[in-house]
């Protein structure tokens, strides 16, 4: 995939900015929105003092804080907004090992925001663990709801001869994934619009997904999972993956589940749907308590915790 054949001048400017930041040794570990808000509420954090403040903590900055080249790249990319005498970047740059990824700035209020954060790091570890112990090479993989593209990139780098699709219904996610793939130097990722797997053909030996799993009043694409407590999208992915996996193929689903009175409704539904099927599967809690602030939101009155979980599902060969 060659970015200069498919993307606009604005995307090229954003790619050049990423290359500049990486060459300068920029790194930032992305935190939860709650931690971001708490850190940015500190008196000394009201204005940016360095590049991590600008592109990691999403703080407003004086134009003189960054180089002329960086300012020109931000302007050409169309990712600057004014706040009086200050400017703010509408994109962030976060690190995962040696990867640098662009995604939406904090706060992610817009309906087409592209999220990256602690869930992305946990999702990446689920993929790494699978690839490390996988017995057969990946030939055809897809990252459903790719967001910033981290799933597709990890697979593409580990299996450079594989065909890897990154799909999403959000055009901005596809744009950022293409930029991140170009920055990572991978050439075996194709970026395609699709509602889960409905828009693409073929079968796969590896399907990965990190879908939204919250109830979101604004129904933002990156956050709203649907259903009673956010599990609808995860179940749709399981159903579609079961139809599109090759023999011996695997689905890696990293998601979250609302636990009510000690019951995991997602696990119960998965167990019921897969009983007696041609699949073997393992379901585990990755983190027992994530995004605790969500329990204050409408619809969560009976929820005692939100757990991050991983489902590994394999079609019998």
The answer to whether the beta carbons of residues 157 and 138 sit under 8 Å apart is no
* Per-residue pLDDT at 6: 46
Give the strand pairing for 263-264 and 279-287. unpaired
What pLDDT does 290 receive? 96
State whether residue 269 is helix, strand or coil. helix
Task: Kindly report, residue by residue over 46-66, the tens digit of the pLDDT.
Answer: 999 999 999 999 999 999 999
Can you list the domains of the chain with their CATH numbers?
Answer: 3-104 (no CATH), 118-315 (3.40.50.150)
With beta carbons less than 8 A apart as the criterion, state whether 188 and 140 touch: no
- What pLDDT does 120 receive? 98
Positions of the chain with pLDDT lower than 70, given as ranges: 1-7
| pTM exceeding the 0.85 threshold for the entire prediction | yes
Q: In the beta sheet, which residues pair with residue 263?
A: 260
Quick one: pLDDT at residue 227?
A: 87
Q: How far is CA 279 from the centre of its chain?
A: 26
User: Which three-class secondary structure state does DSSP give residue 251?
Assistant: strand
Fill in the DSSP letter of residue 279: E
Q: How confident is the model at residue 2, as a pLDDT?
A: 45
Distance (Å, rounded) from C-alpha 218 to C-alpha 60?
25
């Amino acid at each position: 995939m060659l970015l200069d054949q498919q993307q606009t001048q604005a995307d090229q400017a954003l790619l050049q900015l990423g290359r500049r930041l990486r060459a300068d040794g920029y790194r930032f570990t992305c935190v939860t929105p709650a931690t971001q808000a708490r850190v940015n509420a500190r008196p000394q954090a009201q204005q940016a003092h360095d590049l991590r403040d600008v592109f990691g903590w999403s703080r407003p900055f004086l134009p003189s804080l960054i180089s002329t080249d960086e300012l020109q790249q931000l302007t050409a990319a169309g990712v600057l907004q004014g706040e009086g005498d200050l400017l703010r970047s509408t994109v962030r740059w976060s690190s995962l090992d040696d990867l640098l990824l662009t995604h939406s700035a904090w706060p992610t209020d817009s309906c087409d925001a592209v999220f990256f954060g602690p869930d992305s790091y946990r999702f990446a570890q689920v993929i790494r663990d699978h690839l490390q112990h996988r017995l057969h090479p990946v030939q055809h993989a897809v990252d459903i709801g790719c967001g910033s593209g981290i799933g597709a990139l990890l697979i593409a780098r580990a299996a450079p001869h594989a065909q890897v699709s990154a799909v999403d219904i959000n055009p901005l996610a596809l744009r950022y994934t293409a930029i991140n793939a170009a920055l990572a130097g991978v050439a075996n990722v194709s970026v395609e619009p699709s509602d889960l797997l409905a828009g693409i053909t073929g079968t796969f030996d590896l399907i990965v997904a990190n879908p939204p799993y919250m109830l979101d009043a604004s129904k933002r694409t990156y956050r709203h999972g649907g259903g009673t407590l956010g599990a609808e999208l995860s179940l749709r992915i399981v159903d579609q993956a079961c139809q599109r996996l090759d023999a011996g193929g695997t689905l890696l689903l990293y998601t979250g589940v609302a636990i009510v009175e000690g019951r995991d409704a997602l696990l119960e539904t998965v167990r019921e749907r897969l009983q007696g099927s041609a699949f073997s599967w393992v379901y585990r809690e990755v983190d027992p308590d994530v995004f605790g602030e969500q329990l204050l939101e409408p619809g969560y009155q009976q929820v005692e915790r939100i757990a991050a979980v991983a489902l590994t599902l394999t079609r019998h060969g």
